[in-house]
Amino acid sequence: MKERELTHLEISDLCRELSLLLHAGVGLGDGLALLSEEEKEGRNKTLLENMTRSVEEGGMLSAAFEESGCFPVYVTGLIEVGERVGRTEEVLSSLARYYERRDAMDRRVRSALTYPAILLMLMLVVILVLLTKVLPVFDEVYASLGGHLSGVAGGLLLLGRGLDAAMPLLCAVLGAGAVLVALFSLHDGFRTKLLSIWRKKRGDKGVSRKLNDARFAQALAMGLSSGLPLEEAVDMSAALLKDVPEAAARCKTCRELLEEGESLSKALGETGLLPAASCRLLTLGIRGGSGDEVMEDIARRLSEEAQLALEDQVSKVEPALVLVTSVLVGAILLSVMLPLMNIMTAIG
């Protein structure tokens, strides 16, 4: 059975600690042993002990990562390249920074999807209580005064009675919705599967497109700074988008253009993996011998733009939900209160 992959934050912490230990002159075997001794009993401790044993028996660090089954292909592949070119410490440091950014971005996405869902459910509960519990009370008041609800209020009363009759089903639906929101927020596996299904359908449009481009640019920048050949860097970066068919197709086209002899910046521009302005900047950087540094700067800017776009969408969703639900609640109250004021005025 395949082991559950570590979270982005766990990968970032492990890579950073190993990088610091290597920088301090500690061997890989000794470094993994130190980390396993500091870990409490549990899955991660067993994982580190197995990796320590593999490295001390003469195995490569990348092989130990791969054999564990707890790391993405991108991690094991890039560490293998780092070992091959003698830059294991730099690769581990790059992986730590990359997955730290991924964790921050994922938390923003999770917050963007979870909070509005909770807010909408609470507002639906308020409206449901008004329709099924409050309106019937006003109808009884009208009946005692010799009148009855009509117009919008009467229609809402009929709707409320219908909802009251279907209350068990509504409670089950709201309960299921609450469970789904809780699972999405707290269960990594459920959230991953749900987001994977969504990515296959609409995972390369709007803000998602910006997020995909940022992920690709971050991975490409890390690959280039680690000494990875262009084709391999693109292949490794494309592996992060394999669950988004449209994005994967763009990566495949970019790879084909590189094989035909196109420059990296032109291939990225023609496939839309990078904006035109970023491609021009990358061209100048490559000519000046600082392509990897320029690519890192582009990746950082695209990541910031994607995060700002996501936050902008969230800032629009929340006020829209509040406005719509507030209007509905206000309309329900006014449809009841205005006729009641007319009756009170007539009595007075």
Q: Map out the domains of the chain as residue ranges.
A: 8-71, 99-123+169-348
Between these two residues, 220 and 174, which has the higher pLDDT value? 220
Asked if the model's pLDDT at residue 16 lies above 90, the reply is yes
Q: What is the 3-state secondary structure (H, E, C) of 110-153?
A: HHHHHHHHHHHHHHHHHHHHHHHHHHHHHHHHHHHCCCCCCHHH
- pLDDT of 123 above 80: no
When comparing pLDDT for 112 and 303, which is higher? 303
- Report the pLDDT value the prediction gives residue 182, as an integer from 0 to 100: 67
The pTM score is 0.61
| pLDDT mean over 77-82 | 76
Which pLDDT score is estimated for 346?
54
Amino acid at 7: T
Please state, in angstroms and rounded to a whole number, the distance separating the CA atoms of residues 76 and 209.
26
Cα dihedral across residues 300, 305, 306, 308: positive or negative: positive
Which residues contact residue 48 at a Cβ distance below 8 angstroms, ignoring those fewer than 6 apart? 32, 35, 36, 39
Q: How far apart are CA 31 and CA 50, in angstroms?
A: 13
Q: Quote the pLDDT of residue 19.
A: 92
Which is more confidently placed, 210 or 2?
210
User: CA–CA separation, 162 vs 131, rounded Å?
Assistant: 10
Mean of the per-residue pLDDT values of the chain = 78
Q: Using CA atoms, how far apart are residues 157 and 335, in angstroms rounded to an integer?
A: 10
What is the mean pLDDT of the segment spanning 231-246? 78
Burial of 344 (0-12, 13-18, 19+ CB in 10 A): exposed
Percent of the chain with pLDDT over 70: 72
Taking the alpha carbons at both ends of the chain, their separation in whole angstroms is 78
**CA 92 – CA 108 distance, rounded (Å):** 24
Whether pLDDT at 148 is above 70: no
Q: How confident is the model at residue 152 (pLDDT cuts 50, 70, 90)?
A: low
With cut-offs at 50, 70 and 90, classify the pLDDT of residue 1.
very low
Half-sphere exposure of residue 324: CA atoms within 13 angstroms, side-chain side: 11
pLDDT tens-place string over residues 39-52: 877 778 888 888 99
Q: What is the pLDDT of residues 27-78, one digit of tens each?
A: 888 888 998 888 877 778 888 888 999 998 888 988 898 888 888 777 887 7
Residue 157 per-residue DSSP state = H
Q: Which two tokens stand for residue 6?
A: 């570590």
Residue 187 pLDDT level (bands cut at 50, 70, 90): low
Given this model, what pLDDT does residue 90 score?
A: 82
Read off the pLDDT band of 20 (50, 70, 90): very high
pLDDT digits (tens, 9 = 90+) for 195-208: 667 667 766 677 77
